[in-house]
A and B are shown apart, each in its own frame.
Chain A
Amino acid sequence: MIATTHTSGSRRFKRVMTYAAAVAVLVVMAFPLYGIILTSIQTEPDIRSPNVAFVPTYIEPQHYQDIFDEASGIPVAESMVNSLVVALATAFLTVAIAVPAAYALHRMAVPGRRIILGGLAAIYILPTLLFVLPLFIAVVQLGLYDTYIGLVLPYVAFTLPFMVWIMGSFVRSIPVEVEEMARIDGAGLPQLMFRIVIPLLRPGIFAGLLLGFILAWVEFLTPLLFTSDLSILTVTLGLFRSTMDIAIGQLAAATVITALPVILITAFFQRNISEVVTAGVER
């Protein structure tokens, strides 16, 4: 009797602790995001007041209207289109190149496959700036400065090693027996790829597209160094450029707008994205 009350007491204590911890984690992780949203819907004097209001008493949409206004210095709408084009192109190109490469490297006799796989992993370790100096010169000399190609090409290459690695873990999860059976049934390589491998890889390909899109959307160093024209401004760079002269409220609104697509994608598809990480652990 005493023993049971003791256990139920400690169990209740455990429950309370769990919920307390959950609330603490929720508050700490969400607080900065909450703060920037709060800033974006307050008037400028309230933002600059030292009496920080943690609960909004009104919603001021002016900053959002301002940043989409033609007259504002930063073409936010145009930069979103630029980022969308570049990010979509990067996602599809990277996956289209990575899937056959990952399949060949893991399931076929590519000469030197160990060295190639090792090299792809090793590249991730090295600082990006190690590659950027000559790329900057090459981009300028090839006339790719301020062009879509000048952005997409480095994006694709920067994302590829990671993408091949991720696709590799999905390729390895396909049972070899399935492929062998298809081969015995007389399927050639094209049939094998399009009828068996790619359909089986669909979750991986989808996750890869999401990741490729996100990585390109958030990229900052490449556009910072390889573009300067306003017509090719990407969202992240636009956000940075806008720090120069506009109000904090507008900056906060632009921050929310820049982060929103990626946040929505992540929240919607968190299971797919988690899958990528889990595939990495189980290796």
Chain B
Amino acid sequence: MTHEVRAVEKSVTRSRRRGRLIAAAMAAPAVLLVAGVYAYPAISTLLYSVTKVHVSPFRLERFVWLRNFINQLTSGAFWEATWITLYFGVMLCAVTVVCSFLIALLLNRTFLGRGLVRVTVLLPWAVPPVASGFLWVQMFHAEFGFLNGLIRAFGGEGDIIWLGGSTIALHSVLIAEVWRWIPFATLFILAGLQIVPKAVKEAAAIDGAGPWRGFRHVTLPLMLPVVVPVVIFLFVWAMKVFDTIFVLTRGGPIRGTTTLNYLTYRQGFVDFNFGSAAATAYLLAGLTVAVIAGLGWMLARSRRLAGM
């Protein structure tokens, strides 16, 4: 009797172990590949960040401990890039979310030609970032660009040098990036709007809430758990933006559009200073994680408030 139970137990544990082994084997290619292409380089980059790296031929010369980090944290260019990055990130999130929310509210209604508007809104997402970079070069061109042409067509001066000054160039890059990310954000928010139960909105309308109050007190709080992930996604994207800056401004004029990510690229692949680049990359990673942690806390709070 006990023998039999033991035998059954044994075979159960054996089959369970076998199941685990198979499961691990199924996940292994993905995990190993990701580990090889992420974990190994991430650790190597950490090593570079505390050493003096000789690039060609490649060797680690000597440990400099935190020298690379201190050099970054005491350099004006680093802090300039940090503020530009943060400003860019906040603006990208704010402008994209507001525009996308409005477009999503529109697409949530029924009207003739909604399908056409939907496809058109989705299209910028499909344009390769480099291609969209050129497209905006053509839009922003000071002499024969389309934006100035449009301004002239409406009787304005139309002589804005869109990529000329640091501040205006940063906002031009921002316009190009907002245009690129509206499709994703709109789709996400629209999907969220369609989940908000109609019954809740109708109840609010019966209670005498006007459209604005209904939106402010019913739709918006219910949408927060959808909007916050969009903001997180957009912010992460803003921290990584590269192609558009590379094509439109190359980080200029006078470092005006040099975000931390672009600074990393410059230090690594223009100056071939891998130590500095590694330190900057890690500082950027730290900044991103800190902001995301803050937003994640907000998400947890908004979920609690929305009762989800």
Contact digits for A235-272, partner B, Cβ 8 Å, 1 yes 0 no: 11101100100001001100100110011011100100
Given contacts A32-B136, A262-B128, contact A109 B19 (CB under 8 A): yes
Residue from the list A128, A160, A259 in contact with B33, Cβ < 8 A: A160
How many positions in chain A have a CB within 8 Å of any CB in the partner chain?
94
Do residues B125 and A22 form an inter-chain contact, with CB atoms below 8 A? no
Q: Give Cα A33 to B16, complex, Å.
A: 56
Do residues A267 and B131 form an inter-chain contact, with CB atoms below 8 A? no
Do residues B278 and A25 form an inter-chain contact, with CB atoms below 8 A? no
A-B contact list, 25 entries, CB within 8 Å: A18-B106, A22-B106, A25-B117, A25-B121, A32-B132, A32-B136, A35-B146, A50-B148, A51-B149, A111-B20, A125-B285, A125-B288, A129-B264, A129-B268, A134-B48, A137-B44, A153-B37, A218-B131, A239-B128, A252-B134, A262-B126, A263-B123, A273-B122, A281-B195, A281-B226
Residue from the list B42, B127, B129, B144 in contact with A220, Cβ < 8 A: B129
A130 — which chain B residues lie within 8 A by C-beta? 41-42, 45, 264, 278, 281-282, 284-285
Given contacts A35-B135, A220-B129, contact A29 B179 (CB under 8 A): yes
Do residues A277 and B123 form an inter-chain contact, with CB atoms below 8 A? no
Q: Give Cα A247 to B195, complex, Å.
A: 49
Write the chain A residue with the least CB distance to B145: A52
Q: Is A131 an interface residue (CB 8 A)?
A: yes
A39 — which chain B residues lie within 8 A by C-beta? 138
Do residues A104 and B27 form an inter-chain contact, with CB atoms below 8 A? yes
Q: Give Cα A97 to B25, complex, Å.
A: 11
Q: Give Cα A96 to B158, complex, Å.
A: 52
Do residues B109 and A263 form an inter-chain contact, with CB atoms below 8 A? no
B30 — which chain A residues lie within 8 A by C-beta? 97-98, 100-101, 160, 164
Q: Give Cα A282 to B191, complex, Å.
A: 8
Do residues B26 and A104 form an inter-chain contact, with CB atoms below 8 A? yes
Contact residues, B71-117 vs A (CB, 8 A): 102-103, 106, 109, 111-114, 116-117
Given contacts A29-B123, A54-B149, A97-B29, contact A127 B289 (CB under 8 A): no
Stretch at the interface among B1-9, B165-173, B198-206, B237-245: B237-245
Q: Is A205 an interface residue (CB 8 A)?
A: no
B264 — which chain A residues lie within 8 A by C-beta? 127, 129-130
Q: Give Cα A130 to B37, complex, Å.
A: 11
Given contacts A33-B135, A111-B20, contact A134 B44 (CB under 8 A): yes
Q: Is A144 an interface residue (CB 8 A)?
A: no
Q: Give Cα A146 to B59, complex, Å.
A: 22
Q: Is B13 an interface residue (CB 8 A)?
A: no
Q: Is B11 an interface residue (CB 8 A)?
A: no
Residue from the list B41, B113, B130 in contact with A133, Cβ < 8 A: B41
Do residues B128 and A236 form an inter-chain contact, with CB atoms below 8 A? yes
B24 — which chain A residues lie within 8 A by C-beta? 104, 110-111
Do residues B143 and A50 form an inter-chain contact, with CB atoms below 8 A? yes
Write the chain A residue with the least CB distance to B31: A116
Q: Is A77 an interface residue (CB 8 A)?
A: no
Q: Is B236 an interface residue (CB 8 A)?
A: yes
B247 — which chain A residues lie within 8 A by C-beta? 240, 243
B195 — which chain A residues lie within 8 A by C-beta? 281-282
A50 — which chain B residues lie within 8 A by C-beta? 143-144, 148-149, 152
Contact digits for A129-167, partner B, Cβ 8 Å, 1 yes 0 no: 111111111100100000000000110111011001000
Given contacts A32-B136, A130-B281, A157-B34, contact A52 B128 (CB under 8 A): no
Write the chain A residue with the least CB distance to B280: A129
Contact residues, A33-69 vs B (CB, 8 A): 33, 35-36, 39, 47-52, 54
Q: Is B256 an interface residue (CB 8 A)?
A: no
Q: Give Cα A119 to B37, complex, Å.
A: 13
A240 — which chain B residues lie within 8 A by C-beta? 130, 247
Q: Is B38 an interface residue (CB 8 A)?
A: yes
Stretch at the interface among B62-70, B180-188, B297-305: B180-188
Do residues A133 and B127 form an inter-chain contact, with CB atoms below 8 A? no
Known: A29-B123, A133-B281, A225-B269. 15 other contacts (CB 8 A): A52-B150, A52-B152, A100-B27, A104-B23, A120-B34, A126-B288, A132-B268, A134-B44, A157-B37, A218-B131, A235-B128, A237-B130, A266-B126, A267-B122, A274-B187
B123 — which chain A residues lie within 8 A by C-beta? 29-30, 33, 263, 266-267
Q: Give Cα A225 to B245, complex, Å.
A: 16
Do residues B41 and A220 form an inter-chain contact, with CB atoms below 8 A? no
Q: Give Cα A277 to B104, complex, Å.
A: 14
A170 — which chain B residues lie within 8 A by C-beta? none
Do residues A127 and B261 form an inter-chain contact, with CB atoms below 8 A? yes
Write the chain A residue with the least CB distance to B239: A127
Do residues B29 and A101 form an inter-chain contact, with CB atoms below 8 A? yes
Q: Is A278 an interface residue (CB 8 A)?
A: yes
Residue from the list A18, A123, A125, A164 in contact with B109, Cβ < 8 A: A18
Q: Is A21 an interface residue (CB 8 A)?
A: yes
B26 — which chain A residues lie within 8 A by C-beta? 100-101, 103-104, 108, 110
Q: Give Cα A30 to B126, complex, Å.
A: 12
| B94 shortest CB reach to chain A, Å | 18
